[in-house]
Chain A
């Protein structure tokens, strides 16, 4: 594997593991999701640059636009959580717990 491929692949997997495993705050999970989006942007941009397929450089721009949508929705949910539960700690989101 080339170093570039290895680095953005491991960046994606690190963000995914950070999102999946034990979190304290909801904002930490959203930041890991943003880290995954960053690694995907770098991956698409490096695809464009290293394979010299220049018309593919619209793909990272469109990814960034959709990632902005997703980040803003996640932050709106964070604000709604902080308003109802007073904090964004995940142990407080236990309304459906038996």
Chain B
């Protein structure tokens, strides 16, 4: 189980290298989808099933879908995947950098052990993260209202930026 989570952590780093190495945005979005998926796996491996589900639904299923079809705005006649000359240099440099930092900062054999949350305690009705998120509705109610307000404000900002016909915030559009 520990080795499986370790494999998912490596896949997270490789996925972000795939995004950061400047391919065509189609492939960068694919790398980010893979990184988000294995990130959810890491959270499940540490016992946070609710937070993992939130990441899957909201991040992958909401935000990354929008990025994926916005990649149509970045269409190129000759897309560059990770094998093409300009991208493969960045990939190798980032892999080397991560390997060097990993080699320098590696702790001992004991530092890789982790357990599932609430795994060493008494029986509980709810998983830890589920009970914690419920605090957002009780004690954190003010922050919830602020977040809802900010999301409404962002909707207005987006509509204003893309209003068009020289009457919005960006006059040239």
Please list the residues of chain A having a beta carbon within 8 angstroms of any beta carbon in chain B: 1-4, 6-8, 10-11, 14-15, 17-19, 21-28, 30-32, 34-35, 38-39, 41-42, 45-46, 48-50, 52, 54-58, 60-62, 64-69, 71-73, 75-80, 82-84, 87-88
Q: Are A69 and B150 in contact (CB under 8 A)?
A: yes
Given contacts A3-B6, A42-B43, A75-B67, whether A60 and B51 have CB atoms under 8 Å apart is yes
B76 CB to nearest chain A CB (Å): 8
A-B contact count (CB 8 A): 226
The B interface, classified by DSSP as helix, strand, loop or mixed, is helix
B161 to chain A, nearest CB (A): 4
B39 and A38: CB pair below 8 A? yes
Question: Could you show 10 A-B contacts with beta carbons less than 8 Å apart?
Answer: A6-B106, A10-B13, A15-B20, A18-B19, A18-B21, A54-B117, A58-B143, A71-B66, A76-B162, A83-B162
Tally chain B residues at the interface, Cβ within 8 Å.
77
